[in-house]
Amino acid sequence: MSAPLLQLTEVTKSFGGIHALSAVTSGVPEGKIVGIIGPNGAGKTTLFNVITGAYRADSGAVRLNGAALNGLPSHRIAREGIARTFQNIRLFPSMTVWEHLLVVQPHGEAWWRRLLPVGWGDPAAQVRAEEVMEFFGLTDLRDRPAKSLPYGLQRRVEMARALTARPKLLLLDEPVAGMNHDEAEEVRQLMLKLRATGLTILLIEHDMNFVMRLCDYLYVLDFGVLIAEGTPSEVRTNSRVLDAYLGKDE
């Protein structure tokens, strides 16, 4: 396998006495879809927060294409080519789909810049917004305020917004949470199309059917510790993984 696009080395993060991440080492190869699974509280979202600079790791390294990201502010990391969506949807309720695709990421630069529709008057941003809107099947909904959309479509708006920045690496925190089977399948097909364009995706998800059928490779976290990794079929039959999910009677 070639050198990974994203490389985490011994990443550690504690909150008081809680070891959210204990020396996590993992890699995400370019052009692949990699999944992170694990029970509630395993440290999955914390890992995303460390990668994107929302949290600073206590120790360890995060590298994108070999360049260290540790200690950089979120907006710099975004500019290096990492975009994300959030476990709890972060949309502006009254803003339309189209407006969401023209504002900067919610973890963008200074707070006041988030209030500026940066895409207005910028033809390139508008072309890109049209492109992702079309890709996610949102074009007919362009003038709808976010709050009027069903949950599954709000998640799509978040994914579309993350892609307007043309990231190299897309981080998705539970992209199909709350979706029914058909909606999740549509998202799975969209992710496969994105991978075909060369995009690299790292995603967190509890929907095992979705994860197992989509990801090229999986990491399994439990209480902040990486307990297994491998292809979906390797992980599916790993006894430590089964124990973590089903609970041990020891």
200 binds Mg ion (CB under 5 A): no
Give dist(CA 62, CA 72) in Å, integer: 10
Give dist(CA 218, CA 34) in Å, integer: 6
Q: How much is the CA Rg of the chain, to the nearest whole Å?
A: 18
Least Å from the CB of residue 23 to Mg ion: 20
Indicate the residue among 44 and 161 with the shorter CB distance to Mg ion.
44
Only one of the segments 44-52, 63-71, 93-101, 238-246 lies at the binding site for ligand ATP (rule: CB under 6 A); that segment is: 44-52
Indicate the residue among 43 and 119 with the shorter CB distance to ligand ATP.
43
- Helix (H) or strand (E) segment spanning residue 68: strand 67-68
Give dist(CA 227, CA 37) in Å, integer: 10
Q: Which of 6, 8, 20, 24 binds ligand ATP (CB under 6 A)?
A: 20
Confirm if 137 and 160 have CB atoms less than 8 A apart.
no
12 binds ligand ATP (CB under 6 A): no
Indicate the residue among 8 and 103 with the shorter CB distance to Mg ion.
8
Distance set, CA 16 to CA 13, 20, 54, 92, 135 (Å)? 10, 10, 17, 32, 43
Alpha-helical runs (H) found in 91-231: 97-100, 123-135, 151-164, 181-196, 208-214
Least Å from the CB of residue 224 to ligand ATP: 7
- Helix (H) or strand (E) segment spanning residue 245: helix 239-246
Q: Which of 26, 27, 33, 45 binds ligand ATP (CB under 6 A)?
A: 45
45 binds Mg ion (CB under 5 A): yes
44 binds ligand ATP (CB under 6 A): yes
Give dist(CA 188, CA 184) in Å, integer: 6
Contact string (CB under 6 A) for ligand ATP, positions 57-96, x = contact: ------------------------------x---------
Contact string (CB under 5 A) for Mg ion, positions 52-91, x = contact: -----------------------------------x----
Which residues form the interface with ligand ATP (CB under 6 A)? Answer: 15, 18, 20, 38, 40-46, 87
Interface positions with Mg ion (CB under 5 A): 44-45, 87
